[in-house]
Structure 1
Amino acid sequence: MNSISGIDLRHDNLFPTRELLAAGQTDKSIAAMLQADVLHRVRHGAYTYAAHWNELDEVEKRMLVAHAVLLNARAPVALAGPSAADVFGVPVWQMGEEVHLARLDGKAGRREAGRVEHRGHTVCEDLTIRNGIPVTSGTRTAVDMIALADTEHALVTVNGLLHAKETSIELIQRRLESMTYDPHTLNAPVVLGLADGRCESAGETRTFCLCRRHRLPMPIPQVEIRNGSGKVVARVDFAWPELGVFAEFDGNVKYLRLRRPGESIEQVVLREKRREELICGLTGWRCIRIIWADLHHAERTAARIRATLDGLPWAA
């Protein structure tokens, strides 16, 4: 990777304009490096290497932008809502690219290019530090997501926070009860009534919501499969044991996550197929595989699930 003389990059490969200028660069030379694809402008006043930016995934890019906002913040703030969730490494679904901040000085928040400031009463337990970054706690992040999003979008992140042990239903309820009345949290009972930390991904939570929305029997998440000796040999994303059906959600990165050192994607797929055969052989259950595209055709997917649960063939 190219280097810029005089610049000592931090671990995040992010540096503001003032550091470039202090190292002897000029507006003209910065513009030339942008044109030559050596630098990438993360946001106004903050840059990184273009090669570094191109290596980042969607979440990592959002986190780098959020860090750039913190570097240039003129008031005491902490990352909040979906921006805090990214730092915790939990799912965020379709919450936009804006950086969400909790303003800590009690002054009115504002919205400007790429950032949203939220004013609210913040107590000590609402804040924490992760990797040197100030963020709202897992509990406060869950509360903020309930206020910011509809039930399904909020539930994706709340389930992620529960699964990561960053909060609990009891802690979220306690924090909500201690807050001044907020009409934006009226859906909290619905979200918390559905919340289940056993859901490990956005896709699993959304599949769970699909079943509820279409009045299907609700599945049990993360069901263990045992062999004749009682040993756990597999675990499935969802199951309807009494109906003899299990479901697996195949997300965009599932097979990358399952890949072992030196293993190709093709080998992972074959191993997953053998795993499915083992589960079917041990239980006699039928398998439903769901992908992201299926969630965009909810009616059709619900009909497929219903037919499988009823032991019927799928409609063409």
Structure 2
Amino acid sequence: MELGHDDPRLAAIRLRRELLDSGAHSDQSLARAVQLGWLARPRRGAYVDGPLWRSLSPDQQYALRCRAAFRQAHTGVILSHVSALPFHDAPVWGFDLDDVHLTRVDGRSGRREAGIRRHCGQLMSGDVVELHDVDVMSALRATLEASLVGSVEASLVVVNHFLHRGEYDLPTLAARYEASMDRWPSSLTTDLVLRLADARHESVGETRMAYFFFARSLPKPIPQFEVYDGSTLVARLDFALPELGVWMEFDGRVKYERFLRTGESPADAVVREKRREETVAELTGWRCLRVTWDDLADPPRLERRVRDLIASVSRSRRAAG
């Protein structure tokens, strides 16, 4: 999926040498423009509109730094690893965004310098694509590369994003990994990511919840569990533990904004969600646990809540005979 032409990650970048050669600026006027906030420097020697830069999220600023580094490179390079992800409109949650990752095309060994990590690696057909005038690793290869530099949880977010979007399927991803990358350093993380990957997870929050259950040795829930009233589908639950009488929903703000109906406010969506929860409880007799970003940031506390809820439902069932 390509970015829209007005996406801020594709904002104009002007290099110092271009601005000096055009006569539009001198080094003194550039320094003054940065000081006054008219321009901003995503990297040394690269400039963007100042107000725009300050309005961007860290993820969006990272994409601009990646594009600037690509344009400044003096040898043939490809944006790779986590640095390729923004241009496939993929999440970079949980990754270290301090460095731009570039893979050399000349086969020479990689090295590290200020703000840049250069890699070398064998390329196969289809590994490199051009997006928005930038050479980047394909979604398939970038996914595997990202798992070499990120945590299992962050890498799983990327895999599930692409799987759910239909960018590739799991057998294809596994085949590409086994073709040459299974012997790369840190590939043990990739092995686990491939085992945990699941296309049914629809968001960063849902993937993080699924990983939470795995990491805390909790019962494995069923994602996107469908609840029917007769033959009518009334709800699709983020996660369900049918035998234990519990279901979980990830409550992210984006979730309510994304599914707003025509003429509906966020408050209306919250009320509608509450009614949906009541309907599910009436049909199933189960109890619901809602999980937020703050909950995911405190796994031990969230684990206690989950285990306490499961135990509470179990006690209620025993008391009811």
Aligned to 1:5: none
Q: Which moved more, 1:70-79 or 1:182-191?
A: 182-191
Aligned to 1:291: 292
Aligned to 2:34: 34
State the AA in 2 paired with 1:227: D
Distance 2:51 2:217 in 1: 48
Q: Which moved more, 1:277-286 or 1:205-214?
A: 277-286
State the AA in 2 paired with 1:92: V
Which one has a larger percent helix, Structure 1 or Structure 2? 2
Distance 1:145 1:12 in 2: 24
Distance 2:229 2:60 in 1: 40
1:83-136 Cα distance to aligned partner (Å, 9 max, x none): 212222222232112211222221122212222111111112211223333211
Distance 2:166 2:276 in 1: 28
Instruction: Rate the CA distance shift 1:233–1:61 in 2: closer, same or farther, 3 A.
Output: farther
| Structure 2 counterpart SS, 1:68 | helix
State the AA in 1 paired with 2:286: W
Aligned to 2:242: 241
Aligned residues: 304
Distance 1:216 1:205 in 2: 15
Distance 2:51 2:260 in 1: 25
State the AA in 1 paired with 2:202: E
The one of 191, 195, 200 aligned to 2:197: 195
Instruction: Compute the displacement of 1:233 (Å).
Output: 3.4
Q: Where do residues 207-226 of structure 1 align in structure 2 (5 Å cutoff)?
A: 207-226=209-228
| Structure 2 counterpart SS, 1:172 | helix
Q: Where do residues 1-316 of structure 1 align in structure 2 (5 Å cutoff)?
A: 12-21=11-20, 22-97=22-97, 98-179=99-180, 181-228=183-230, 230-251=231-252, 253-260=254-261, 263-312=264-313
Aligned to 2:3: none
Alpha carbons 2:87, 2:131 under 8 Å: kept? yes
Instruction: Compute the displacement of 1:260 (Å).
Output: 4.9
Distance 1:11 1:143 in 2: 24
State the AA in 2 paired with 1:67: R
Alpha carbons 1:91, 1:201 under 8 Å: kept? no
| Structure 2 counterpart SS, 1:311 | helix
1:223-256 Cα distance to aligned partner (Å, 9 max, x none): 233333x233332211112322211112353334
Distance 1:232 1:58 in 2: 39
Distance 1:262 1:116 in 2: 48
Instruction: Compute the displacement of 1:197 (Å).
Output: 1.6
Q: Which moved more, 1:28-37 or 1:244-253?
A: 244-253
Aligned to 2:6: none
1:140-189 Cα distance to aligned partner (Å, 9 max, x none): 11221222233223222222222222222212221222216324213333
Alpha carbons 1:237, 1:248 under 8 Å: kept? yes
Instruction: Rate the CA distance shift 1:17–1:257 in 2: closer, same or farther, 3 A.
Output: farther
Alpha carbons 1:42, 1:68 under 8 Å: kept? yes
* TM-score, scaled relative to structure 1: 0.87
Aligned Cα RMSD in Å? 2.4
Instruction: Rate the CA distance shift 1:52–1:193 in 2: closer, same or farther, 3 A.
Output: same
Distance 1:258 1:123 in 2: 40
Query: Runs of 5+ in structure 2 lacking a partner?
Result: 1-8, 316-321
| Structure 1 counterpart SS, 2:289 | strand
Instruction: Rate the CA distance shift 1:221–1:50 in 2: closer, same or farther, 3 A.
Output: same
Instruction: Rate the CA distance shift 1:269–1:44 in 2: closer, same or farther, 3 A.
Output: same
Q: Identity of aligned pairs, percent?
A: 40
Instruction: Rate the CA distance shift 1:89–1:226 in 2: closer, same or farther, 3 A.
Output: farther
Distance 1:193 1:118 in 2: 26
Alpha carbons 1:90, 1:164 under 8 Å: kept? no
Distance 1:280 1:85 in 2: 39
| Structure 2 counterpart SS, 1:92 | coil
